[in-house]
Structure 1
Amino acid sequence: MCLEHEEEKVNMYCVTDEQLICSLCKLVGRHRDHQVAALGDRFDKLKHALDSNLNSLIKRTTELESIMGKLIQTCQHVEVNASRQENKLLEECDVLINIVQQRRQIIATKIKEGKSVRMRKLAQQIASCKQCIERSSSLISLADQTLKETDHARFLLTAKSTCERVSMATASSQILLPEMNLNDTFDSFALDFTREKKMLESLDYLTAPNPPVIREELCTASFDTITVHWTTDDEFSVVSYELQYAIFTSQSNVVSLCNSADSWMIVPNIKQNHYTVHGLQCGIKYIFVLKAINQAGTRSSEPGKLKTNSQPFKLDAKSAHKKLRVSHDNLTVERDETSSKKSHSQDKFSTHSSYGVTGNVFIDSGRHYWEALIGGSTWFAVGIAYKSAPKHEWVGKNSASWVLSRCNNSWVVRHNCKEMPIEPSPHMRRIGVLLDYDSGSLSFYDAVGSQHLYTFDVSLLSRCAPCSTCGTGV
């Protein structure tokens, strides 16, 4: 123990120097302060970790309690439903037993009635036969006695009368004997309950059908219809199907869609395993859910995502400049050579050097793809333009249009007079245009060589249409 620092203690051996002891006490004090600080940090960290782990444990325990509560509630439901089904089974079996007993009584009565009718007829026939036999037996005895008579006089006296009686009896027996059906032995019916036995042996409780499976690889689509195909393992137990569909926006929205009945369009009472939905938007992805229904309940399929095709379009001849000629099928446009010609050596952005035409559809959503066959044209532009874009201005020169353009050997993409040179294949003859309206992108491709040429980032604010300008033919 240090005399000057009574609170400081240190275990030492062979200590002789008080100054050394004092220095050691100071060192121990600083070490203790450092240890206290370290312990404080460890305390704070451990307390924070313990508090965090405790909160996690409490949260997990709460979740487990909730799950256990649901499990207990499910057990109660199972108990109640099983008892209800057992009572229902007894009721249904009692009904079947009553029906069998009633049918047994009815059929037994029919058997008794059939037996009684046949036995009555047979008894009458036996009585008639017995009477005839008795009369015939007495006449046979009389005839035998007459034949034994040796006195000719008495024989002649009785033989004639006896012969007439025997003759009359023979004739009358043919008339009096009833018609007999010896084949009707009551064996011409059968008690065959084989089918009913099989039906009874197959009795079982009915369960809700297994979930159907939407076969996306078999489904087909047009620009405004989707035909949904599905399969199920319980085809014969399904009474009907119900198809639900809604516009698919994102994967996170699927859960909210499934929990909201108001978001779905519903097609009930479908009997076949396919259905065509009409009146859809073009180029839009939809989510489909199918329900299989019978008397026991309903099971739903996994959601299936299907998309309509982009809407086909043609050129709108009414939108074409008067110096352009649109073909009768509205698929081709070219410069009207009968009009006045101007040299292509003029300013390539001149409003007089090329003229425009738009498609006959306007796009306000979805993804759309189309191609332009440029043939031998060396002076053209293809792309999109707002409905409000200037009709007789070179597309791409204004803020309302985006195009890929060729002017002789110069290839550029242009928007609002700003252009970016590109280098496609010198032999490119078909241009692919992909517009994703919702995500805001417009891409151009070499449709034959599958080469990506350029992509505009566009924020479309209103309806737009495919557009084209040309100096020769496109």
Structure 2
Amino acid sequence: IQTLENNLTNLVKRNSELENQMAKLIQICQQVEVNTAMHEAKLVEECDELVEIIRQRKQVIAVKIKESKVMKLRKLAQQIANCRQCLERSSALITQAEHSLKENDHARFLQTARNVAERVAMATASSQVLIPDVNLNEAFDNFALDFSREKKILEGLDYLTAPSPPSIRDELCTASHDTITVHWTSEDEFSVTSYELQYTIYTGQTNFISLYNSVDSWMIVPNIKQNHYTVHGLQSGTRYIFFVKAINQAGSRNSEPARLKTNSQPFKLDPKTAHKKLRLSNDCLTMEKDESSLKKSHTPERFSSTGSYGAAGNMFIDSGCHYWEVLLGASTWYAVGVAYKSAPKNEWSGKNSSSWVFSRCNNNFMVRHNGKEMLVEASHQLRRLGVLLDYDNNSLSFYDAMNSQHLHTFEVSFLLPVAPTFMIWNKSVMILSGLPVPDFVDCPEEQQEGMTTLCRQQDSPYVSGMKGCH
């Protein structure tokens, strides 16, 4: 009995679902009927309008043909009348001349001949009236009816559908620290009346439907006529998601979403902050230590209260995500990080609460803040140090950029703007700024895995795992 009741319940449920499904299908059928009738009526309306336009143009062109005919015939009739008058005068003159030639009286002949000769000369000089204003060729060749282009357009009339989805060309898109230029292509661009570009900050959300439905978070650029557009005023070092909508009268279709990112804010070394024993290059991207003082002592001046051989970047950061790299060359004594403007200028970076650095002291790599040091595992072949400052998410991270390895992350609740800071005690370093955030930095899972093997002291109060940047 229980089995029968269960089966009966399932059957009733299934019947209910079938009834709902059938009701939906009937509703769709009705909608198809309504839409079809609407389109048929629209077709008749549009074709009638085309026929009316053709009828009106036929009348206009017919009037122009008749007007051209009247004008030409009037000119020709006037010329015929002129020719007839000239012909009558010439005939009378010829008769008079023949009569004068028959005159036997020499004196009378001379008098008559002189008068006739003058009139003949005048008649010959006025012969230009015989040149027609409208010649035979002009009467027919300066007007033509050619509707081949219009015929092709009419033959191409069809049922208009929404455009095919456009495709964003990632390889053509470019970026600066505050702009992204998006390029796209469309298979049927001639049927597109305009494009619409939409974008928002990419937060790592993988459910695009949910993201798209968050209408408030999207910025919209409507009525774009070309297949590219530059968006200004973006956050530096930030990943955005874009899609393009192709639009015509029949509707619209969206491209697949594309993730594009801005570069970091570019900066250089500020000569006003550089130690007098440091040499800066002309482009202020390289600094070199005068090593004559090192030869006098086996121990770098990092242990001295005045041993601050450094320089700061020429910008202060108070928001956004920023990434730069330092080419370390052969230097084995350096410190790289960020500091408040209030950080002591004659003190080693990291020995106070206003600075955070990654440092190498010969064979030891360490991070340092507020006088606390912690060893970090890194390759002695480390030649390219990546620095990621995510000010808004309160993190400062360091990477072996060549090997895509995370080295360490400070979690810092920044209270003031910070400037990039650099210190060296031998050789030279070079700054690379204005870079995009690398892809390996954008993957928090990979960063967590790398962090567990590269950081020695996970329980330190100022050390934590990497927080993903936008």
The two structures have a TM-score, normalised by structure 2, of 0.62
Structure 2 residue matching 1:92: 3-state secondary structure: helix
1:241 aligns with 2:195: yes
Asked whether the 8 Å contact 1:413–1:454 carries over to 2, the reply is: no
1:269 aligns with 2:238: no
Match of 1:210 in 2: 164
Equivalent of residue 385 in structure 1, options 328, 336, 339: 339
Match of 1:458 in 2: 411
1:229 aligns with 2:183: yes
Structure 1: tracts of 5 or more residues without a match? 1-42, 126-178
Match of 1:371 in 2: 325
Larger relative contact order (C-alpha < 8 A, sep ≥ 6)? 2
Q: 1:471 to 1:209 in 2, by over 3 A?
A: same
Structure 1 residue matching 2:347: 3-state secondary structure: coil
Deviations 1:122-170 (A, max 9, x none): 9xx9xxxxxxxxxxxxxxxxxxxxxxxxxxxxxxxxxxxxxxxxxxxxx
Q: 1:91 to 1:411 in 2, by over 3 A?
A: closer
Asked whether the 8 Å contact 2:394–2:414 carries over to 1, the reply is: no
Once residues 19 and 338 of structure 2 are traced to their aligned partners in structure 1, the CA distance between those partners, rounded to angstroms, is 57
Q: Give the aligned length.
A: 371
Residue 323 of structure 1 deviates from its aligned partner by: 5.9
Structure 2: tracts of 5 or more residues without a match? 81-130, 429-470
Match of 2:236 in 1: 282
The two structures have a TM-score, normalised by structure 1, of 0.62
Amino acid at match of 1:226: I
Once residues 147 and 239 of structure 2 are traced to their aligned partners in structure 1, the CA distance between those partners, rounded to angstroms, is 56
Residue 274 of structure 1 deviates from its aligned partner by: 1.0
Once residues 206 and 218 of structure 1 are traced to their aligned partners in structure 2, the CA distance between those partners, rounded to angstroms, is 30
Once residues 88 and 262 of structure 1 are traced to their aligned partners in structure 2, the CA distance between those partners, rounded to angstroms, is 36
Once residues 436 and 338 of structure 1 are traced to their aligned partners in structure 2, the CA distance between those partners, rounded to angstroms, is 38
1:440 aligns with 2:425: no
Once residues 378 and 277 of structure 1 are traced to their aligned partners in structure 2, the CA distance between those partners, rounded to angstroms, is 43
Equivalent of residue 84 in structure 1, options 19, 22, 38: 38
Asked whether the 8 Å contact 1:405–1:414 carries over to 2, the reply is: yes
Across the aligned residues of Structure 1 and Structure 2, the Cα RMSD in angstroms comes to 4.8
Q: Which has the larger radius of gyration?
A: 1
Q: 1:458 to 1:71 in 2, by over 3 A?
A: farther
Asked whether the 8 Å contact 1:342–1:353 carries over to 2, the reply is: no
Amino acid at match of 1:294: N
Mean alpha-carbon deviation: is it higher for 70-79 or for 88-97? 70-79
Amino acid at match of 2:357: V
What is the correspondence of 1:28-427 to structure 2 with a 5 Å cutoff? 65=20, 73-101=27-55, 193-251=147-205, 254-321=208-275, 324=278, 326-335=280-289, 343=297, 345=299, 348-364=302-318, 367-422=321-376, 424-426=378-380
Structure 1 residue matching 2:172: 3-state secondary structure: coil
Residue 105 of structure 1 deviates from its aligned partner by: 6.3
Structure 2 residue matching 1:217: 3-state secondary structure: helix
Asked whether the 8 Å contact 1:355–1:471 carries over to 2, the reply is: yes
Once residues 243 and 155 of structure 2 are traced to their aligned partners in structure 1, the CA distance between those partners, rounded to angstroms, is 36
Q: 1:209 to 1:375 in 2, by over 3 A?
A: closer
Residue 342 of structure 1 deviates from its aligned partner by: 8.2
The percent identity for this pair of structures is 60
Q: 1:339 to 1:283 in 2, by over 3 A?
A: same
Mean alpha-carbon deviation: is it higher for 237-246 or for 383-392? 383-392
